[in-house]
């Protein structure tokens, strides 16, 4: 009877509120549960100890089957193999039940899964593999994939880690979901509840390592108290087959250990590292290893002592080697003071230049961790040329789940298609097939180690990443680290089913939105390989293309009034194209063979340069920004169509973000178009840029207690000007007469700063249309701004408002703190118009 009720509730779409904390492991009852006849009657978990992942697998199977199919199964450590789910390692299975030839091809962490009526075998090559198999079985039944049969699944690569950029004080660098779950007030946290839950989540997508602290590392993590804390974290992760690792500060022997040097070739320094490493391993015997950021963005490193990067990496490698640990040494080494006036200077060259001559000089347990592109997690980059330069060194690819440059979880951007393009890119090393995915697995250059790491930055927010929809990226990361050949859309649809259930419309809508999201974001941010055009000098969020140039950071666009793009050719530019193997170098060297989407990455061209599409560069910019922003508007309608099909809690939270994204996409569109139209003086053929017939500029209204303020950067405001109250204590009013009638959506563009929560009221002839507060800092979770700029610019819309000619439009703004109730413009939008 219970099943019937559950089925009914699910089928008619009345589902309970959910906070996202269970992510894709909700184990929600499936509609067809009762038709799954041949359910096993018990679970046999061939585990040795309670901290074994096999024990966890038994518990998880019990919990999952109960939730999904509504049947309580007992878990035993012995029993028969009939009508049972047997889970264990191959060795344990063979000891009890005899040979299992079908599982002969299992590799480390792999699993064998066989489903035959009521007999289910889940056999891991090791304990971790057995747990992965259990999660795979649960994922299948949770998606009503009840097919019988058997298969082996082995990982693409041994290293499948996350990196968390958590600071000792509990903040998270580029984290958008609240404070750390690992660290607090200078110490490792005592409360491991969320750590355990996170380990469970990651184990279900076959992640096997977590680096728990920021690459910009603080040596105080090495204190005795914190080493004890790391032990606690590792104990929480161990039952999930996840090994803990830490980031190190290269100068620790000096800054923390009291030595007068941190020279990697100084025996005293080596001894210091060996000693501290032994201390950590005595508390965390299975520690995965170390992650090191050296000589990058002000971090100390071996170059300080004229030692090589290999000298630095090998020092750590020797310390962890006796314990079986590895060192992930980051390739993100560059000088952030390069000379803009030097046409041939190029940050994109840094990795290959810095690692030049070092291939083969790293110890066997060192893995060079390479960001997917040569610069820094931009919306579009070619793969890093370092992937094809290191032949005798193990490498891993570094991805970002946290959307640092890609909308900070406030914009929907499904990243798997971006990763997929990189994975499948064939670098043609030695003119042979050399896909990036075959290089980082170790296969192409026959390296024993390899894999991937993703910067995830989960926080205490119940949704883990601050946004429900952003969780598809974490899910996809794990699944694709295990098997990069899988299609992003297939991964996404599994995630949708597990996260939101079986409704067809929900599936189609979220699939459509997600698959359009990266192209849309690229369209309304930075096109043709010019990078994201975010403000690189502040929070990496809103638009500010001027911030890219004229500084030492090397994220240059080299845009002037005639032309734009980095000339990375060998014949006339930075030579970066020549860092790729010859076939690829030729493609990028030649403007005709460079794909449009990387044109400005490799070439400096006039704005009037025709693309393969026939459009000019500048017209493409205009069109793409209008198109991308329009797609972001359509996401709102698409999402709204799901009302009632998804629990109210998640529906509302996602709706809020989609509405926000739609507004901010317009800020992006107008800012970038305005900026390049000003720079190039070339008008938009379609006459949209700079023409906003539906807007009433706040600065043109009658102001009392408000004053005009020029905005910097100027294109962050329509007409380059906003209004702010004249004091931070008294409300201001802006009024104007309306000369038209009809039904309109009224959109108000304003600025929402951190450091105040101004209040606003919008009325028409004293009929209140709406009230709101500038409190996005509480709701969005991303690094906000204290200025009127492209980060803080935002929009609120009031739908279907009746307007009479003669109405007096009035906005009253009550300032708060530094937020002087800033207003930009008010649009009266007839149906179907976006302006």
Active site residues: 297, 376, 404
Query: Rounded to an integer, what distance in angstroms lies between the CA atom of residue 641 and that of residue 97?
Result: 53
| Burial of 97: CB neighbours in 10 Å, binned 0-12, 13-18, 19+ | middle
For 288, the 3-state DSSP assignment is: coil
Give the nearer residue to ligand GCU in terms of CB position, either 506 or 536: 536
**Shortest Cβ 213–ligand GCU spacing (Å):** 12
Residue count, binding to ligand GCU (CB under 6 A): 8
**Shortest Cβ 404–ligand GCU spacing (Å):** 6
| Burial of 728: CB neighbours in 10 Å, binned 0-12, 13-18, 19+ | middle
Sign of the alpha-carbon dihedral angle for 12, 13, 14, 16? positive
**Shortest Cβ 334–ligand GCU spacing (Å):** 10
Q: How many other C-beta atoms are found inside a 10 Å radius of the C-beta of residue 832?
A: 6
Give the nearer residue to ligand GCU in terms of CB position, either 216 or 726: 216
What single-letter DSSP state applies at residue 112?
A: E
Give the nearer residue to ligand GCU in terms of CB position, either 530 or 646: 530
**Shortest Cβ 398–ligand GCU spacing (Å):** 8
Give the nearer residue to ligand GCU in terms of CB position, either 174 or 669: 174
**What part of residues 381-420 is at the interface with ligand GCU (CB under 6 A)?**
404
User: How many CA atoms lie less than 13 Å away from 238 in the CB half-sphere?
Assistant: 15
Give the nearer residue to ligand GCU in terms of CB position, either 173 or 835: 173
Q: Which residue has the tokens 């179907």?
A: 832
Query: Rounded to an integer, what distance in angstroms lies between the CA atom of residue 327 and that of residue 288?
Result: 9
- Identify the helix (H) or strand (E) that includes residue 229: helix 224-237
Query: Rounded to an integer, what distance in angstroms lies between the CA atom of residue 425 and that of residue 434?
Result: 8
Give the nearer residue to ligand GCU in terms of CB position, either 55 or 332: 332
**Residue 293 binds to ligand GCU (criterion: CB under 6 A):** yes
Give first-to-last CA distance, the chain, whole Å.
Answer: 54
What are the backbone angles phi and psi of residue 76, rounded to the nearest 5°? -125, 160
Alpha carbon 169 to chain centroid, angstroms: 22
**Shortest Cβ 369–ligand GCU spacing (Å):** 10
**Shortest Cβ 293–ligand GCU spacing (Å):** 5
Residues 23-52, mask of contacts with ligand GCU (x by CB under 6 A): ------------------------------
398 near 477, Cβ under 8 Å? no
**Residue 22 binds to ligand GCU (criterion: CB under 6 A):** no
Q: How many other C-beta atoms are found inside a 10 Å radius of the C-beta of residue 277?
A: 23
**Shortest Cβ 294–ligand GCU spacing (Å):** 11
Going by DSSP bridges, is the β-strand pair 183-184/187-188 parallel, antiparallel, or unpaired?
antiparallel
Give the nearer residue to ligand GCU in terms of CB position, either 171 or 736: 171
**Shortest Cβ 178–ligand GCU spacing (Å):** 18
Residue among 419, 704, 660 nearest 541 (CA): 660
Q: How many other C-beta atoms are found inside a 10 Å radius of the C-beta of residue 767?
A: 10
**Shortest Cβ 374–ligand GCU spacing (Å):** 13
Instruction: Select from 109, 197, 376, 789 the one that contacts ligand GCU (CB under 6 A).
Output: 376
Q: Which residue has the tokens 């929600």?
A: 28
Residue among 638, 624, 633 nearest 795 (CA): 633
Query: Rounded to an integer, what distance in angstroms lies between the CA atom of residue 325 and that of residue 281?
Result: 9
**Residue 174 binds to ligand GCU (criterion: CB under 6 A):** yes
Give the nearer residue to ligand GCU in terms of CB position, either 128 or 293: 293
Give the nearer residue to ligand GCU in terms of CB position, either 232 or 293: 293
Q: Which residue has the tokens 């929009």?
A: 795
**Shortest Cβ 380–ligand GCU spacing (Å):** 17
Give the nearer residue to ligand GCU in terms of CB position, either 173 or 627: 173
**Shortest Cβ 276–ligand GCU spacing (Å):** 23
| Burial of 604: CB neighbours in 10 Å, binned 0-12, 13-18, 19+ | buried
Angle between helices 471-482 and 193-204 (to 10 degrees): 50
H helices of 360-447, in order, are 386-389, 416-424, 436-440
**Residue 819 binds to ligand GCU (criterion: CB under 6 A):** no
**Residue 173 binds to ligand GCU (criterion: CB under 6 A):** yes
**Residue 684 binds to ligand GCU (criterion: CB under 6 A):** no
DSSP string, 522-585: HHHS--TTS---B-TTTTS-SB-GGGGSSSTT-------SSEES----TTTS-SGGGGS-HHHH
Q: Which residue has the tokens 């009291």?
A: 258
Residue among 237, 61, 81 nearest 133 (CA): 61
What single-letter DSSP state applies at residue 682?
A: P
**Residue 669 binds to ligand GCU (criterion: CB under 6 A):** no
Give the nearer residue to ligand GCU in terms of CB position, either 165 or 639: 165
Q: How many other C-beta atoms are found inside a 10 Å radius of the C-beta of residue 694?
A: 16
**Residue 216 binds to ligand GCU (criterion: CB under 6 A):** yes
44 near 87, Cβ under 8 Å? yes
**Shortest Cβ 228–ligand GCU spacing (Å):** 27
Q: Which residue has the tokens 């009526």?
A: 117
Q: Which two tokens stand for residue 182?
A: 């690992």
Give the nearer residue to ligand GCU in terms of CB position, either 173 or 359: 173
* Residue 835, CA distances (Å) to 160, 670, 694, 832 in order: 45, 10, 6, 10
Give the nearer residue to ligand GCU in terms of CB position, either 534 or 638: 534
Query: Rounded to an integer, what distance in angstroms lies between the CA atom of residue 438 and that of residue 444?
Result: 5
Q: Which residue has the tokens 């004890």?
A: 228
**Residue 215 binds to ligand GCU (criterion: CB under 6 A):** yes
Write the CB contacts of 802 (distance below 8 Å, at least 6 apart in sequence). Answer: 742, 743
- Identify the helix (H) or strand (E) that includes residue 653: helix 648-680
> Applying CB under 6 A, which residues contact ligand GCU?
173-174, 215-216, 293, 332, 376, 404
């Amino acid at each position: 009877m219970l099943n019937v009720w559950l089925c009914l509730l699910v089928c008619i779409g009345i589902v309970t509120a959910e906070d996202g904390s269970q992510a894709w492991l909700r184990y929600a009852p499936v509609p067809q549960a009762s038709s799954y006849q041949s359910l096993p009657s018990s679970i046999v978990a061939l585990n040795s100890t309670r901290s074994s992942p096999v024990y966890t697998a038994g518990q998880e199977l019990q919990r999952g089957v109960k939730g999904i199919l509504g049947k309580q199964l007992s878990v035993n450590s012995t029993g028969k193999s009939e009508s049972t789910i047997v889970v264990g390692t191959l060795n344990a299975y063979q000891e009890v039940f005899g040979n299992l030839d079908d599982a002969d091809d299992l590799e480390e962490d792999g699993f064998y899964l066989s489903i035959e009526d009521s007999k289910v075998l889940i056999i891991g090559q090791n304990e971790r593999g057995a747990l992965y198999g259990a999660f795979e079985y649960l994922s299948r039944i949770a998606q009503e994939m009840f097919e019988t049969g058997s298969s082996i699944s082995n990982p693409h690569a041994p290293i499948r880690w996350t990196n968390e950029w958590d600071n000792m004080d509990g903040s998270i660098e580029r984290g958008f979901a609240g404070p750390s779950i690992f660290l607090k007030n200078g110490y490792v946290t005592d409360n491991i509840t969320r750590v355990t839950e996170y380990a469970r989540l990651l184990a279900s997508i076959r992640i096997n390592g977590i680096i728990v602290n920021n690459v910009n590392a603080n040596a105080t993590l090495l204190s005795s108290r914190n080493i004890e804390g790391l032990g606690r974290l590792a104990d929480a992760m161990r039952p999930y087959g996840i090994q803990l690792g830490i980031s190190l500060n290269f100068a620790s022997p000096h800054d923390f250990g009291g030595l007068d040097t941190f020279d990697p070739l100084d025996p005293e320094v080596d001894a210091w590292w060996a000693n501290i490493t032994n201390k950590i391993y005595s508390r965390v015997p299975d520690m995965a290893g170390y992650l090191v950021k050296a000589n990058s963005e002000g971090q100390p490193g071996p170059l300080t002592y004229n030692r090589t990067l290999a000298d630095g990496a090998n020092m750590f490698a020797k310390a962890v080697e006796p314990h079986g640990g590895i060192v992930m040494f980051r390739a993100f080494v560059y000088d952030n003071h390069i000379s803009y006036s030097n046409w041939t200077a190029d940050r994109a060259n840094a990795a290959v230049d810095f690692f030049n001559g070092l291939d083969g000089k790293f110890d066997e347990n060192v893995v060079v961790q390479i960001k997917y592109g040569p610069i820094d997690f931009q919306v579009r980059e070619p793969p890093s040329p370092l992937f094809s330069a290191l032949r005798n060194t193990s490498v891993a690819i570094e991805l970002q789940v946290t959307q640092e440059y890609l909308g900070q979880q406030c914009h929907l951007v499904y990243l798997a298609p971006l990763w997929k393009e990189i994975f499948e890119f064939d670098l043609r090393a030695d003119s042979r097939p050399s896909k990036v995915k075959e290089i980082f697995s170790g296969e192409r250059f026959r390296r024993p180690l390899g894999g991937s790491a993703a910067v995830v930055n989960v926080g205490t927010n119940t949704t883990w990443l601050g946004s429900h929809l952003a969780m598809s990226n974490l899910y996809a990361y794990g699944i694709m680290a295990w098997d990069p050949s899988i299609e992003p859309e297939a991964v996404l649809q599994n995630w949708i089913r597990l996260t939101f259930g079986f409704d067809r419309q929900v599936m189609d809508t979220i699939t459509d939105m997600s698959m359009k999201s990266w192209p849309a974001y690229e369209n309304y941010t930075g096109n043709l390989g010019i990078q994201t055009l975010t403000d690189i000098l502040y929070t990496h969020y809103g638009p500010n293309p001027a911030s890219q140039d004229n500084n030492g950071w090397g994220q240059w666009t080299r845009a002037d009034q005639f032309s734009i793009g980095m000339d990375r050719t060998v014949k006339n530019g930075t030579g970066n194209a020549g860092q790729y193997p010859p076939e690829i170098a030729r493609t990028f060297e030649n403007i005709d063979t460079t794909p449009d989407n990387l044109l400005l990455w490799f070439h400096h061209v006039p704005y009037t340069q025709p693309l393969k599409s026939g459009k000019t560069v500048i017209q493409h910019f205009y069109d793409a920004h209008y198109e991308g922003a329009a797609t972001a508007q359509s996401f709102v309608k698409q999402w709204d169509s799901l009302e009632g099909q998804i629990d109210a809690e998640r529906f509302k939270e996602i709706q809020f973000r989609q509405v926000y994204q739609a507004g901010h996409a317009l800020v992006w569109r107008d800012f970038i178009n305005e900026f390049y139209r000003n720079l190039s003086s070339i008008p938009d053929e379609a006459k949209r840029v700079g023409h906003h017939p539906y807007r009433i500029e706040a600065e043109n209204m009658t102001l009392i207690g408000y004053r005009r303020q020029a905005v910097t950067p100027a294109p962050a405001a329509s007409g380059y000007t906003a209004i702010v109250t004249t004091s931070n204590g008294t409300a201001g009013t802006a009024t104007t007469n309306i000369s038209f009638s009809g039904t309109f959506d009224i959109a108000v563009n304003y600025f929402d700063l951190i450091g105040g929560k101004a209040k606003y009221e919008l009325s028409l002839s004293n009929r209140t249309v709406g009230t709101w507060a500038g409190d996005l800092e509480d709701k969005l979770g991303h690094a906000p701004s204290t200025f009127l700029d492209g980060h803080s610019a935002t929009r609120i819309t009031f739908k279907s408002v009746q307007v009479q000619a003669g109405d007096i439009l009035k906005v009253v703004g009550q300032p708060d703190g530094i937020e002087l109730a800033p207003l930009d413009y008010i649009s009266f939008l007839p149906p179907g118009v976006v302006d």
